[in-house]
Structure 1
């Protein structure tokens, strides 16, 4: 029996673990709660997420990944260790081969940090993969052929836009405007228009339930609860999907700008392929209502959302070694 192959999507918002032959076995928030006094980790993943904004002074619930980059190296390493050992279960006598995914904008130094952390967390081999390539593989695109495909991957910390051909990215841009920024924009909007301070989790819940980027004929509404900025007392407000669209307008405009700029930089032959094959939307942000309609309207190119968009990067990361061995003709 060979070593287990694991694919990890090290996301800013969620960590997904894919095990070859089993599919995705873990999906948990990239949150770690640790005790500042003893420096011990109290909880990881979903359990730690429940603690955000609700912890006593000595316990910190932190997200060690910010905008796709390791902001806290030690905590990230411990978090990886936790997820790798959870994925391996009892059969951990051989160290696993780990493919791990990073946004395309990370520097060599940051890549090295991820690689180091993964080795120290117990991997035998580590392959670092760029997010758009993993997203394309996971979305079921054959990236090994000389044919241009465009991926727009909207994660928690970064949005990656890339044109891929022959197993590599030809043109790619990554911006630090993604799901987290959407949540912040909603928090700002509610504070400004309703004098109401809401938390990150409340904003995220509103985004998931009624978030949209395209005008709807029948806007939905949701009640959000928080604290009144004037009286300081708990208060709630009713906000509509139309308001969320307004709150997100600026972020979305930045993402649209990147899509345009990548299309402008794409060599003509590949641009022709993209016009024919369309644009594929992946990542959790692809679930925002009407995103594909908006992109299609602004670019004139047929746009589709990948099936299960939040999962594709993890799946693609897990399948990467198999796919690339075809390219290299091993």
Structure 2
């Protein structure tokens, strides 16, 4: 079987999702690569590599090749993409697939070129790009072809993309580097400052998912955390409450609300009234933070809904966009290097 299907890739800072035409989402793995420092060989990718984060001997490093929604390590990104593409469609290919990759709305031309080149090198026949808010809107089931303003807030690992979309294009947008990863960093900082304890990224993420929140819960929840005491240097076990994590995240959540506010301020009046009617749609893993939708709703005075399947919205939208690649190429003027 040499024929290869078209593929949609949500190349995220925290995870990579791959959508295959006709099959749906076939792969969802963390964007982590473990390599041997001395030989530069890739030892593990995805889940296996993530298990190694913070737990590797000196010669093995677990790297996250994307930072803040863009490629920070080109070679490793290419190796990671190659691994995921081969895992998805097998190695024996006569025809290379057409691949559509999702990028944050604020990326520069240089960053776009890096994504296209890395994907072509990893085995694409042609690479197209789609902006995250548009993919998220399509994945959330919105009809973006109509002359109606929709507001999408996509909170991923590296970036939060806020955009108003109408007639298939972005009218106003803002992309900030405050998202899931910054939440984790804020929790690590808080633990160090308040409890004198050093915790790792994974523990911070568990705290965020299990007891984190943007608003006060009716009943506080707690979680036991293991870390290293910075004074004694010994491992300790302490109990953390949901209110503490809420305090730790307060600043980051406010900056996401500010980004939404600044986009609303720049939205043309007719579209602003569409948004007031329809509400704001939130997608991405960060949208699942407890009470975040309620917090934004209170601050903006506009109804907020978290999309069904928030984490896979962007990948689904990227996949659906495979059906209209020609439109993408013309509309965005993003025809990549065509291998004629």
Kept in 1: contact 2:220–2:243 (CA 8 A) = yes
1:174 maps to 2:175: yes
Instruction: Classify the secondary structure of the residue corresponding to 2:82.
Output: helix
Structure 2 CA distance for aligned equivalents of residues 152 and 133 of structure 1: 10
Instruction: Classify the secondary structure of the residue corresponding to 1:28.
Output: strand
Q: Partner of 1:187 in structure 2?
A: 188
Q: Partner of 2:334 in structure 1?
A: none
Structure 1 CA distance for aligned equivalents of residues 243 and 48 of structure 2: 33
1:290 maps to 2:295: no
The one-character-per-residue Cα deviations of 1:4-24 (angstroms, maximum 9, x if unpaired) are 111100000000001111111
Kept in 1: contact 2:12–2:69 (CA 8 A) = yes
Post-superposition offset of 1:326: 7.3
Match runs of 1:1-330 below 5 Å: 3-89=4-90, 92-323=93-324
Q: TM-score, normalised by structure 1?
A: 0.97
Structure 2 CA distance for aligned equivalents of residues 232 and 109 of structure 1: 44
The one-character-per-residue Cα deviations of 1:43-100 (angstroms, maximum 9, x if unpaired) are 0000000001111111110000000110100000010001111111266332111010
Return 5+ residue gaps in structure 2 as ranges.
332-340
Structure 1 CA distance for aligned equivalents of residues 211 and 139 of structure 2: 27
- Regions of 4+ moved over 4 Å: 323-329
Q: Partner of 2:336 in structure 1?
A: none
Kept in 2: contact 1:33–1:43 (CA 8 A) = yes
The one-character-per-residue Cα deviations of 1:280-316 (angstroms, maximum 9, x if unpaired) are 0000000100111111111111100001111000111
Q: TM-score, normalised by structure 2?
A: 0.94
Q: How has the CA–CA distance of structure 1 residues 303 and 184 changed in structure 2, closer, same or farther, with 3 Å as cutoff?
A: same
Kept in 2: contact 1:85–1:92 (CA 8 A) = no
Return 5+ residue gaps in structure 1 as ranges.
none
Instruction: Classify the secondary structure of the residue corresponding to 1:21.
Output: coil
Structure 2 CA distance for aligned equivalents of residues 50 and 93 of structure 1: 34
Structure 1 CA distance for aligned equivalents of residues 244 and 250 of structure 2: 10
Instruction: Classify the secondary structure of the residue corresponding to 2:80.
Output: helix
Structure 2 CA distance for aligned equivalents of residues 225 and 27 of structure 1: 28
Structure 1 CA distance for aligned equivalents of residues 322 and 128 of structure 2: 8
Structure 1 CA distance for aligned equivalents of residues 107 and 311 of structure 2: 20
Structure 2 CA distance for aligned equivalents of residues 92 and 316 of structure 1: 26
The one-character-per-residue Cα deviations of 1:235-272 (angstroms, maximum 9, x if unpaired) are 01111111111100000111110000000000011111
Post-superposition offset of 1:324: 6.2
Kept in 2: contact 1:225–1:234 (CA 8 A) = yes
CA RMSD of aligned residues (A): 1.5
Post-superposition offset of 1:322: 2.1
Instruction: Tell me the matched-pair count.
Output: 329
